[in-house]
Amino acid sequence: MGAYGRGSGSGDTIACANQKGGVGKTTTVVNLGAYLALAGRSVLVVDLDPQGNATSGLGIEKSSVANSIYDALCDATPPDQLIVRTSIARLDLVPASLSLAGAEVELAPLPQRERRLSRVLGPLTERYDHILIDCPPSLGLLTVNALTAAGSVLVPLQCEYYALEGLSQLVATINLVRDHLNPDLALRGVVLTMFDSRTLLSAGVRDEARRHLDGSVYDTIIPRSVRLSEAPSYGLPIALYRPESKGAEAYAALAREFLAREFAARDSLSGPALTVIAPVAFPDAPSSSAVAP
């Protein structure tokens, strides 16, 4: 992947969002970020989830963090004081802390409350090729801040029925943010996660997503993987924990496809490969009990 070379600090800010928990947002942010950094890109991961899983998943102990994204949002701590290094060169982190759990309440009465994160990240955009924001599993004020600060949204979509039901709500929120706060916001793509090739349900969700979201769904599919589940407990991206595993191969492929789409868009002089989001109405998905023979 090193053949892709180092970028030039384009300030590509991407919110990784889905209001449903456990769909692979943090896993995608950590591992896509790691492989982009290994490809020579400068990457900043912003952990906006009060659970702080991206922070611990990159080997940073939340209790030892001096300054977190909370301090910038609520106390105006300068952005330069937030950044910590990770075990991968060119991959930096703005960590979360336990204080972030109360941030939405504290932000509510503040002026320009939806734009606090945008102001924090502004000075950092030209220092990184990609800024990946790990959003909380909700559509609250923190996620709205991420969508207002971002140029695009990357949506991990778990290959199960309820994921399809929630996607329309997420699309509606993205459209509202675009209409009122960030007119340039667009869909970067949908990443299918936790795919189980043994079930007809996973295949059905894959097919429905591709049919209704057209070219927005990445070709690369992230499988269910024990190694991907284990890696955060060691504080390592899968690229360092088990680089030979199927999960590692999948995220390496996703990073290659991510960069290929970027280069294709650049070559066509049409800007980033983004699409406008239309309302999504999915038909009934296959039964969750359907298992492929």
In a domain, 143, yes or no: yes
Cα separation, 90 vs 229, in Å, equals: 24
Alpha-carbon span 233 to 69, nearest angstrom: 22
Rounded Cα distance, 183 and 181, in Å: 6
- Cβ neighbours, 10 Å, residue 173: 17
pLDDT at 3 over 70: no
Q: Which of 115-119, 201-205, 239-243 has the lowest mean pLDDT?
A: 201-205
Classify residue 285: in a domain, yes or no.
no
Average pLDDT over residues 151-157: 96
Query: DSSP 3-state assignment of 276?
Result: coil
pLDDT at residue 213, rounded to an integer: 81
Helix (H, G, I), strand (E, B) or coil at 246: helix
Task: State the pLDDT confidence band at 283, using cuts at 50, 70 and 90.
Answer: very low
Ranking 65-74, 98-107, 115-124, 274-283 by mean pLDDT, the lowest is 274-283
Q: Is residue 4 part of a domain?
A: no
Q: How far is residue 119's CA from residue 54's CA, in Å, rounded to a whole number?
A: 22
Digit-coded pLDDT (tens) for 20-56: 999 999 999 999 999 999 999 999 999 999 999 999 9
Q: Classify residue 280: in a domain, yes or no.
A: no
Are 10 and 95 in contact, with CB atoms under 8 Å apart? no
AA letter at 161? Y
Sequence-distant (6+) residues with CB within 8 A of 290 are 199, 200, 201, 204
User: Which CATH number fits the domain that encloses residue 46?
Assistant: 3.40.50.300
Neighbouring residues of 208: CB distance < 8 A, sequence distance ≥ 6 = 164, 282, 283, 285
The answer to whether position 287 is within a domain reads no
Structural domain contains residue 100 = yes
Count of helix runs (H) and strand runs (E) in the chain? 11, 8
Residue 287: DSSP 8-state = P
Question: Does the predicted TM-score (pTM) go above 0.85?
Answer: yes
In a domain, 139, yes or no: yes
- E strands present in 67-185: 84-85, 91-94, 130-134, 152-158
Residue 268 confidence (pLDDT):
61
Total structural domains in the chain?
1
The range of the structural domain enclosing residue 119 comes to 12-274
User: First-to-last CA distance in the chain?
Assistant: 36
293 falls within a domain: no
* CA within 13 Å, CB half, 74: 21
